[in-house]
Amino acid sequence: MTTAVRSRENPIVIKARVVGALALREARVTFGAVKLGYFWAIFEPVLGTALLTFIFSLISRHPPIGTSFALFFATGILIYNLYQKLSGSLMAVFEANRGLLAYPLVKETDVVFARFLVILMTYLFIYIIFFGGLITLGLAHFPHRLDVVLLAIGAIAALGLGAGLTNAVIYMLWPTWRRIEAVITRPLFFLSGVFFIPSNFPPTMRYWLSWNPILQAIDLFRVGYYSNYHSQVLDVPYLCMYIAILFFVAFGAERLYRKHQN
């Protein structure tokens, strides 16, 4: 009787339950081993960003936009950190959940989405705490276009998901990729608009910088946050097209990897 009921159950509902259970397990494994683990998972990036913001504010007290260097730096570093966390953490998701993948109901994409949800929810809490703190201290204002800000967060999360899933497949086939990827992506921190406004550069440099989708997502976030910022490099259709192609490559590679394993 139980089997018959389950066979008639909506596959989407079953998939949602599987991913939800995996996300809870992921949270317990990641944060449960340390006392106040989830607390530190949220406040460690907050405190680290606050320290970096303080250091750079001593170097340059006049941000390219607005009057608060803390706000300007936060709109770059926190968005970039979400991408970096997703692309790096998802790389080892298959290896870390190898035992769970032996269960028929658990697929490779399930463990990917479970870890993705845990990381995304954690960073949403980080954004609320950090930007809320800046607003409370008078160092920031409420976002000019909250819908655009949320769109930018969704875009950077999608970029991290696509890059992370691609990294996971390559890493399982070629473990050395973890070290190579770390070297290749290191310059992105300095080329993604965390410390600068790409619109302030000459046209030729703006053109080359505009190919960086992470920079596009950060610029989109700042367009949504600041009422007086009008980007000369932002190209939302390009960003959406890049995400679509990245998803096609990432999930196509995952499907081929799954067939290869079977």
Residue 56 tokens read as: 């750079």
What Å distances lie between residue 21 and 26, 33, 103, 107, 111, CA to CA? Answer: 9, 18, 13, 13, 10
**3-state DSSP: the chain helix, strand, coil percent, rounded to 5?**
75, 0, 25
Q: Does any domain span residue 4?
A: no
Q: Does any domain span residue 153?
A: yes
How confident is the model at residue 85, as a pLDDT? 94
Q: Does any domain span residue 156?
A: yes
Residue 75 tokens read as: 């709109």
Residue 225 tokens read as: 């946050």
How confident is the model at residue 54, as a pLDDT? 77
Under-50 pLDDT residues of the chain: 1-6
How confident is the model at residue 2, as a pLDDT? 46
pLDDT in tens, 126-146: 999 989 999 998 888 999 999
Structural domain count, the chain: 1
How confident is the model at residue 105, as a pLDDT? 84
Q: Does any domain span residue 2?
A: no
How confident is the model at residue 8, as a pLDDT? 62
Q: Does any domain span residue 114?
A: yes
How confident is the model at residue 171, as a pLDDT? 92
Q: Does any domain span residue 198?
A: yes
Q: Which string of DSSP letters, residue by residue, matches 141-191?
A: ---S-HHHHHHHHHHHHHHHHHHHHHHHHHHHH-TTHHHHHHHHHTTHHHH
How confident is the model at residue 4, as a pLDDT? 47
Q: Does any domain span residue 1?
A: no
C-beta neighbour count of 239 within 10 angstroms: 23
How confident is the model at residue 161, as a pLDDT? 96
Q: Does any domain span residue 157?
A: yes
Range of the structural domain that residue 36 is part of: 10-261
